[in-house]
């Protein structure tokens, strides 16, 4: 069951001290530049929401963020475990110590994003745009990187040998 909520209502409740929101439907919401650090959005629908420049540091976002605009968003120390970020715009996003374990980032745009000590174990980055991305000490264990051109990606202290780099061909 989802609870339809306006951007204004969420911001007002947050300003009043509420941090936990379960099952809220904020599809298409405009939360540009919002300061929502340490918020918990559990089973929330933020599909196609405009969250550009928002501060979600230290937050728990167990949410549908597919097609959301998270450009220049601060997601440092955030937990986005198994989050749906398909086709999300994460250009120039700050992903320091962000937990994206098992997240679905298929077709996401991460150009210019900075991922430092980020956990992408088991994440699906198939077809994601990683051009100009800095990966510093990132966990890519079992991450799906199929269809990615890493030639313009900076890898520092990041191993890709345990990542999935190509689709296996069926044995004939």
State both tokens at 42: 């559990």
Please write the tens of the pLDDT for every residue from 146-158: 988 888 999 999 9
Give the residue from 70, 64, 106 showing the smallest Cα distance to 89.
70
Give the residue carrying structure tokens 């968003």: 73
Please write the tens of the pLDDT for every residue from 25-52: 999 999 999 999 999 999 999 999 999 9
Q: What's the pLDDT at 169?
A: 46
State both tokens at 2: 């989802």
CA distance 94 to 73: 6
Q: What's the pLDDT at 1?
A: 63
């Amino acid at each position: 069951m989802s609870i339809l909520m306006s951007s204004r209502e969420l911001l007002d409740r947050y300003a009043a001290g509420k941090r936990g929101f379960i099952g809220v439907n904020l599809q298409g919401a405009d939360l540009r530049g919002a300061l929502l650090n340490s918020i918990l959005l559990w089973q929330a629908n933020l599909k196609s929401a405009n969250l550009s420049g928002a501060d979600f540091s230290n937050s728990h976002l167990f949410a549908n963020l597919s097609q959301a605009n998270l450009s220049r968003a601060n997601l440092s120390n955030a937990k986005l475990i198994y989050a749906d970020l398909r086709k999300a715009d994460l250009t120039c996003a700050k992903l320091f110590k962000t937990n994206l374990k098992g997240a679905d980032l298929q077709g996401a745009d991460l150009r210019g994003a900075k991922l430092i000590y980020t956990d992408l174990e088991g994440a699906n980055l198939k077809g994601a745009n990683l051009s100009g991305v800095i990966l510093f000490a990132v966990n890519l264990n079992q991450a799906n990187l199929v269809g990615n051109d890493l030639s313009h990606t900076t890898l520092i202290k990041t191993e890709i040998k345990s990542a999935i780099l190509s689709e296996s061909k069926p044995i004939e």
